Amino acid sequence: MKRKLIKDFTSVHTGKKKMYILNELEPSAELTGGNWYTSGELDTEMVESSAQIALCFFNMRQRKGGSVAEVRDFLKAKDVIKCDLTMEEVFQLVETLLYDGQVERVRSENVSPGEATFRVVNRPKVSLDHLSSIPTSICPTAQSSFPPKPSDCPYVDYWLTL
């Protein structure tokens, strides 16, 4: 290593064990883990921030959605990520959002047939009204006797048998 003939790197498969390669060669992304890995460990901060930026892109284009190439261009334009992500890495990022249920795959006429288009999943906002799950709070006979008593309500027995 003093004459700079070889250099060391950390493989994602071997953990902390160093591997060596000729100095003029670059280790493959399969060994180093690509841009998502730093020194053989998954850079979760970079993955999470990239996913949030990609989700921001999909939120801005709710109806149209976007392709992996458009997400890659958006990530480059934001200049938050220091490295140049490949299309495969951006596809992995979007697939992570897909598996998390945050985006969905759609078809679109404005992209080539082989390129997938994704859009944000629209979830209806559900208000969690805790009283709606308690039978005595919605019992029509509760209006006649206050405070409502489960022992007096004819619907409690039915609710308990469900």
Q: Give the model's pLDDT for residue 151.
A: 74
Percent of the chain with pLDDT over 90: 13
Chain position carrying tokens 């209806």 = 124
The structural domains of the chain, ordered by start, are 1-42 (no CATH), 43-123 (1.10.10.10), 131-161 (no CATH)
Distance CA 72, CA 148 (A): 59
Give pTM, 2 decimals: 0.61
Q: Give the model's pLDDT for residue 16.
A: 72
pLDDT at 105 over 60: yes
Which contacts qualify for 1-4: CB closer than 8 Å, 24 or more apart?
none
Please indicate whether residue 29 or residue 139 has the higher confidence score (pLDDT).
29
Helices (H), ranges, 3-145: 29-32, 44-60, 68-78, 87-99, 135-138
21 membership: H or E segment, kind and range? strand 18-22
DSSP designation for 103 = E
